[in-house]
Copies of this chain bind each other. A is one copy, B any other.
Amino acid sequence: MEKLARRRVTAADVAREAGVSPATVGFVLNRTKGQTISEATRQRVLAASQRLNYKPHQAARTLRSGRNKVVLLVLPDWPVEHSLRTNLEVLTHALAAHGYALITYTPLPQSTAPPLWAILDPAVVIGYKPFSVQDVADMKSLGIRNIIPPPDQEVVEASPDFVLGPRLQGEYLLALGHTRLGFAKPADPRLEELVEARLQLLNQVCTEAGVAPAVAKQVDFQGPSGPLAIAQWRAEGVTAVAAYNDETAADVISAAVRHGLRVPEDLSVVGHDDSPLAARYLPSISSVAVDNEQLGLYAAGLALHYAEEQPLPDPPTGAAEIVPRESTAHIDGGHGH
């Protein structure tokens, strides 16, 4: 308001205003432990800081203290699923409660820009899948110590939503009397690892129940893969399909209906993620709802464990449940819900 070329307000300005030294300002505002400050001075500093609208310069803080209160979440370059989004919101809130900001980032393959972890020096970097050796080396050379999943430990435990979801799909369909299952894979090659993992979990259920493994087919919402998969499933006597996620489930239903089948009378289809699409589709899609809140909180706990001296959080129980809708039915054609 006053002068045109207004510098930003620094701790020194606040100190002058409050009649103390810059160090005292720092002690008050950061609640530095091991320092005793009289209540009167504390109030004077607080008031002055408020009056001048003082905001500490984060870059300076980072430079001095060597760490930034930022958690970087590296997302893979695939469509952000609905489940991820709610997960993310919980994570953001939980971290914010401890003063950490969450920044999400999707590295682009042919980008000329340096990766974000070089710009932000985040306190923690979280990846949805383990980082490449090169990325880890890059981060370590930048002084980033907290990497999740930890790169040194070899065995990566799968996160529980991937473990329980396919199990539930399988058990649900088997409970409806189906004995010949199909599995629908999405076309996106970037998802391959996860797809295979889910398929194996489904087959595990099949084996346990003494039925043949699921017939896995790729289904895309355009092109010939959909009709082809439907024909092959019919030929193999498949009466129920577990889909990788709700989008894939929709593609299966679409292909089936266009092929002249009725869903669920001729073919039951179950999705995964309980996304809005599942509720919205025609017919509505039975799906697996994952407890994203719990997962988000666990991720936050993990990050804080590395960033601060917090104890390790309890591993999530992986609560998940089937949400029955119109797309599934008993093998005899009765309703499954």
Q: Using CB atoms and an 8 Å cutoff, list the residues of chain A in contact with chain B.
A: 8-9, 53, 55, 57-60, 62-63, 68-70, 79-80, 85, 89, 92-93, 95-97, 99-101, 103-105, 108, 111-114, 116, 118-121, 141-143, 221-222, 247, 250-251, 253-254, 257, 276-277, 279-282
Contacts and interface: CB of A to CB of B under 8 A. Distances in A.
B118 A55 contact: yes
B68 A93 contact: no
Contacts of A59: 59-60, 62-63, 68, 121
A213 to B, nearest CB: 27
Contact of A112 (B8, B97, B250): B97
Contacts of A97: 112
Contact of A8 (B57, B62, B142, B253): B142
A65 to B, nearest CB: 10
A149 B92 CA distance: 26
A92 B118 contact: no
A11 to B, nearest CB: 14
- Copies of this protein, total: 2
A253 B277 contact: no
A222 B112 CA distance: 45
B280 A251 contact: yes
Contacts of A101: 113-114, 116, 119
Contacts of A9: 141
B118 A99 contact: no
Given A59-B121, A221-B280, 16 more contacts: A8-B142, A58-B118, A58-B120, A59-B59, A68-B119, A79-B85, A92-B108, A92-B111, A96-B111, A96-B113, A101-B113, A101-B114, A101-B119, A250-B281, A254-B281, A281-B282
